[in-house]
Structure 1
Amino acid sequence: MSYDTAASATWPADLSAYCFEVPYSSDTVLFDSAKGIRLFDTAGREYLDGLSGVFVTCFGYDCQPIIDAIRDQLRVLPFNPPLHGVNRPALELARSLVALAPASITAAKLVNGGSECVEAAMRLARLYHRTHGNPGKIKVLSHYHGYHGSTFGSLSLTGRPDVARFGPGVPGMVHVWPPDCLEEFWGVDAEVAQHLAASMIERTIQAEGPDSVAAVIVEPVIHLRGMAISTTAYLSRLREICDRYGVLLVFDEIVTGFGRTGQPFAAQTFGVSPDLLCVGKGISGGYSPLAAVLMSQRVAEILGEPGRPRSFAPSHTYAANPIGSAAGAAAVRLFQEGSFLTRIRSLSHYIEPRLRATIAGRGALRAIGLLYGVKLAADGADRSSSGAKVARACLKRGLVIRGQDDWLAMAPAFVTSEADADAMLDILGDALDEVFGGRP
């Protein structure tokens, strides 16, 4: 199967009214429908979704329990006045998320997306220190080459040069190098890199002044570094450093959360509990915009007495709305009752060795649960753009993955069958052959 995606779709004559999320090109697909893990464009062309949309549609595109929950909620309460009350699905979802999270987590603030979630975590961190008599602790440390969102505060935490076009970010955002960059840019041994990167964070806190630093936020798996996976040793060291200097530790688990790493959250996979846990993407299965910031007991206590209702404002009009909350509550219920952790681990054990064989020396595989990154080799292709070339070759064959710079990312849905996984890997192998000139 091979076709020109844009040419195969029936596009309107005038596209000027719509502002695309990413630049329009010959690869842009006009999607029309979906079923299971398959998408269809307006010409009826079929695409296997090897990315779960973008780490979101973990139950596929026709998950009846979530659809039914949304339909039922639409009939009784599509929206409630947020200044005057809340709704039952929101209460259920908050309780379910707290139960799913590490034991230290006791409260959940529902929002609409990952960027809002990170913004809320930043505000909570500053409020925490102000409440405890330290209003000067406002700075937040984050990784270079990490990604934390597209609103201005979360974008300021994103340590990538391409965001500089928007001008100076929010004051007080400080970037540090992650272990993976020390390995690649300076040739540091992997184990040593983990130690040095943690030490650099401690040195940075000391240099900025511990009385000025509110939080450290990290992705346990850095998506835009080709799924660079942290180690338990690194994250544990960060936990120790944050405790030593009175700094909150925040995990951005927008990508890794909700089962992706083989546990409900990467915090449990690595055995390190943060003070704030940002979760989103798969939390509603892709059926409604939804995210949440989960709080440890010591953070939650600044919002109200233990055992009593808590509040945190200002908020957003659609935060904790009945439709999104119903979708999320149904997704969490399905996740728990459908033995999905067992299914995730089984599918990951099936895919990983086959994916490694498919790559066949043309890159290094990074795998954790159903989250895969491939750091591509330089030989046979221009490394700086090889990821995009392979992703485009996959798309024209009917497979959706992500490719950028010198890396690829895959994140199959939890409901992917072994046969569908084989079909994805066959396409990926053909695409790699096209870009790299055949298997070594």
Structure 2
Amino acid sequence: MSYATTASAAWPADLSAYCFEVPYSSDTVLFDSAKGIRLFDAAGREYLDGLSGVFVTCFGYDCQPIIDAISNQLRVLPFNPPLHGTNRPALELARSLVTLAPASITAAKLVNGGSESIEAAMRIARLYHRTRGNPGKVKVLSHYHGYHGSTFGSLSLTGRPDVARFGPGVPGMVHVWPPDCLQEFWGVDAEVAQHLAASMIERTIQAEGPSSVAAIFVEPVIHLRGMAVSTTAYLSRLREICDQYDVLLVFDEIVTGFGRTGQPFAAQTFNVSPDILCVGKGISGGYSPLAAVLMSQRIVEILGESGGPLSFAPSHTYAANPIASAAGAAAVRLFQEGSFLTRIQRLSDYVEPRLQATVAGRGALRAIGLLYGVKLAANGADRDGIGAAVARACLKRGLIIRGQDDWLVMAPAFVTSETEVDHMLDILGDALDEICGGDR
């Protein structure tokens, strides 16, 4: 097996003008081209993408229908004055997303990225209650150890200690423990943890004062907990609590949306309908920055009363951009017409047992659709770095996954072949042998 290494030698000698999107190090790869689910660096080395970029490139890197849609749109209308109108691809995409979503969803607001969709949802939640005569309902609940974005509002919603370096966040953010944390930190049984976590949310609403709580934001699968998967019972109970206390239920489906859990959205996988869905990543296949806020009819009715599109002001110059919208419309069309839900199920059925066998006793597998997390069996000082160590060992061998703390995550593209899956798992197995030891 040939080992791929990073392309640091191909970087320009003068990095003074380098755009610091990621910290430059010996592990930083200078990507140069891609085809299918393979990336190539500036030195010509090959990498299998087991993460779909970052849950984005679900159709691979050379999806011709999306490329054609973007190219055609560039020739016709690359931009429109956003203060004066919209464009056909944006309308088509909005309609398509509403069609994919649960029946309660009736409208879509297009934005540029996941963080922006979270920000918009926070504004909508506060505006919803203000318009209904409850201006004091401004607090927003979210889970500890979740992740909701990189803008200041979405970071404030993110309940992780590593965001404290930016100082105090937006006022009114309240964090609660998810079931997975109750299991790990306090040894609570899984079923009891689901019930207890929901009860703690109700108690938190009561303690903060129901007249002050606007919404709760939930990731149905918490990525930064190593793909901690919620249960239908937990999410259904949250729906009941939100209805009881007039609190909006918002699903952050930026990772889980667009087929990743085996249905168009996790809301359908768990059969729980939120008031707002924040979606992104895969909806353009990675061919253009794109996300959306999907809203239920009761939200739409309030927005109409409070000024329609002006309710989102200040908006963004590139929101509903014709090129991004054309990419999204083509991706959704391909998803619907290409029987991708069947393909996702078939690929998931192939991956899961083989991944379980590869991990063996070295960790606990969490799987839903084409989202996979592994909680590695590690103790003490090894716990916080073992996930990153395994991910680096995979990268050295030519496989891109994500690892942090004591977990790994994978999210193969929808177009990944069984042969490519086998190659990925061979590499992962070698990396686990190196870092964790043990036999497969």
**TM-score (structure 2 length as normaliser):** 0.98
Answer yes or no: is 1:403 the counterpart of 2:403: yes
Task: State the alpha-carbon separation in 1 of the partners of residues 420 and 99 from structure 2.
Answer: 33
**1:27 CA displacement:** 1.0
**Structure 1 residues 33 and 350, CA gap change in structure 2 (3 angstroms):** same
Task: State the alpha-carbon separation in 1 of the partners of residues 438 and 193 from structure 2.
Answer: 34
Aligned to 1:5: 6
1:33-66 CA distance string (max 9 Å, x none):
0000000000100000000000000000000000
Aligned to 1:28: 28
Aligned to 1:357: 357
Task: State the alpha-carbon separation in 2 of the partners of residues 19 and 72 from structure 1.
Answer: 30
**Given that residues 381 and 435 in structure 1 are in contact (C-alpha distance below 8 angstroms), is that contact kept between their aligned partners in structure 2?**
no
SS of residue matched to 1:364: strand
Answer yes or no: is 1:78 the counterpart of 2:88: no
Amino acid corresponding to residue 3 of structure 2 in structure 1: S
Task: State the alpha-carbon separation in 1 of the partners of residues 113 and 141 from structure 2.
Answer: 21
Aligned to 1:174: 174
RMSD: 1.5
1:327-356 CA distance string (max 9 Å, x none):
000000000000000000000000000000
SS of residue matched to 1:350: helix
Q: Which has the larger displacement, 99-108 or 313-322?
A: 313-322
Answer yes or no: is 1:156 the counterpart of 2:160: no
Task: State the alpha-carbon separation in 2 of the partners of residues 278 and 436 from structure 1.
Answer: 37
Amino acid corresponding to residue 5 of structure 1 in structure 2: T
**Given that residues 126 and 137 in structure 1 are in contact (C-alpha distance below 8 angstroms), is that contact kept between their aligned partners in structure 2?**
yes
Q: Which has the larger displacement, 22-31 or 143-152?
A: 22-31
**1:380 CA displacement:** 11
Give % identity: 88
**Given that residues 4 and 26 in structure 1 are in contact (C-alpha distance below 8 angstroms), is that contact kept between their aligned partners in structure 2?**
no
Task: State the alpha-carbon separation in 1 of the partners of residues 438 and 180 from structure 2.
Answer: 29
**1:384 CA displacement:** 1.4
**Given that residues 253 and 266 in structure 1 are in contact (C-alpha distance below 8 angstroms), is that contact kept between their aligned partners in structure 2?**
yes
**Given that residues 6 and 396 in structure 2 are in contact (C-alpha distance below 8 angstroms), is that contact kept between their aligned partners in structure 1?**
yes
**Given that residues 380 and 435 in structure 1 are in contact (C-alpha distance below 8 angstroms), is that contact kept between their aligned partners in structure 2?**
no
Aligned to 1:260: 260
SS of residue matched to 2:378: coil
**1:309 CA displacement:** 7.5
Answer yes or no: is 1:339 the counterpart of 2:339: yes
SS of residue matched to 1:319: coil
Task: State the alpha-carbon separation in 1 of the partners of residues 277 and 121 from structure 2.
Answer: 8
Q: Which has the larger displacement, 15-24 or 331-340?
A: 15-24
Amino acid corresponding to residue 42 of structure 2 in structure 1: T
SS of residue matched to 2:384: helix
**1:304 CA displacement:** 1.7
Task: State the alpha-carbon separation in 1 of the partners of residues 272 and 30 from structure 2.
Answer: 42
Aligned to 1:92: 92
Q: Which has the larger displacement, 370-379 or 152-161?
A: 370-379
SS of residue matched to 2:10: coil
**Given that residues 73 and 323 in structure 1 are in contact (C-alpha distance below 8 angstroms), is that contact kept between their aligned partners in structure 2?**
yes
Task: State the alpha-carbon separation in 1 of the partners of residues 437 and 376 from structure 2.
Answer: 14
Amino acid corresponding to residue 233 of structure 2 in structure 1: A
Query: What does residue range 387-402 of structure 1 map to in structure 2 within 5 Å?
Result: 387-402=387-402
**1:247 CA displacement:** 0.2
**1:84 CA displacement:** 0.7
SS of residue matched to 1:361: helix
Aligned to 2:243: 243
Aligned to 1:37: 37
Gaps of 5+ in 2: none
**1:439 CA displacement:** 1.5
**Given that residues 381 and 436 in structure 1 are in contact (C-alpha distance below 8 angstroms), is that contact kept between their aligned partners in structure 2?**
no
1:341-393 CA distance string (max 9 Å, x none):
00000000000000000001100000000000000001698121110000000
Amino acid corresponding to residue 149 of structure 2 in structure 1: G
SS of residue matched to 2:58: coil
Aligned to 1:415: 415
**Given that residues 146 and 159 in structure 1 are in contact (C-alpha distance below 8 angstroms), is that contact kept between their aligned partners in structure 2?**
yes
Q: Which has the larger displacement, 429-438 or 54-63?
A: 429-438
Answer yes or no: is 1:19 the counterpart of 2:10: no
Aligned to 1:107: 107
Amino acid corresponding to residue 151 of structure 2 in structure 1: T
**Structure 1 residues 342 and 380, CA gap change in structure 2 (3 angstroms):** farther
**TM-score (structure 1 length as normaliser):** 0.98
Amino acid corresponding to residue 91 of structure 2 in structure 1: L
Gaps of 5+ in 1: none
Task: State the alpha-carbon separation in 2 of the partners of residues 3 and 347 from structure 1.
Answer: 26
Aligned to 1:433: 433
Amino acid corresponding to residue 166 of structure 2 in structure 1: F
1:235-292 CA distance string (max 9 Å, x none):
0000000000000000000000000000000000000000000000000000000000
Task: State the alpha-carbon separation in 2 of the partners of residues 418 and 98 from structure 1.
Answer: 32
**Structure 1 residues 359 and 381, CA gap change in structure 2 (3 angstroms):** farther
